[in-house]
Amino acid sequence: MRRLERVFVALNGAVVIAILSSMALIVGANVTLRYTTNHSLPWADEAARYLMIWMTFLGAGLALRWGGHVAITNLHDVLTTRGQRVLRAVIVLVLLLFFAFMVHVGLQYMDRARFQKTPALRLSFLYVYAAMPVGFSLLIVHLLLIARQFIRAGHFEEAEGAGNAISGAANG
């Protein structure tokens, strides 16, 4: 199971890195063309925007896994150890419910926007809005993978090698 989790985290990280790299290449090429030829790629800004949307939603689960989201710990800090565990369990439950709700909302957005086309790329907005249910589904998976450790200890010690797998994907 740990191996599967490491592969999942590494793959998620590699996709986020690939999207960021694509954004940098597209924007860099557009800037270079604009200053060297006085012409730019008409689709570059739009593509970079949609890639950023996808990167944000796909990277949210990784940020959750490593405690990168905002946390206010005043109440948590004044509770007893048992109270802290109960509070963390409630937080996990509320997050799961919220993430599931957002998957549902994202699917509705996809359905409503499927016939609209983006101005420059002429893609269906379905592909843009798909980032929302996919990203929140990944958040659910990441949360379920770390929930037990988070509830017990109040933090998540990443699976052995998971961080190395991501940095390895970035370097290799």
CA angle 31, 36, 39 (to 5 degrees): 70
Residue 156: the pLDDT is 61
* Domain regions of the chain by residue span: 2-171
Amino acid letter, 166? I
Q: pLDDT tens digits, residue range 36-84? A: 999 999 999 999 999 999 999 999 999 999 888 888 888 988 999 999 9
The one-character DSSP state at 124 is: B
Sign of the Cα torsion 146, 149, 152, 154 reads negative
What would the two tokens of residue 85 be? 């565990």
Residue 68: the pLDDT is 85
Amino acid letter, 162? A
Q: Write down the H helix ranges in the chain.
A: 2-37, 44-65, 74-78, 81-113, 125-129, 131-153, 162-171
Residue 159: the pLDDT is 46
> Which residues in the chain come in under a pLDDT of 70?
155-172
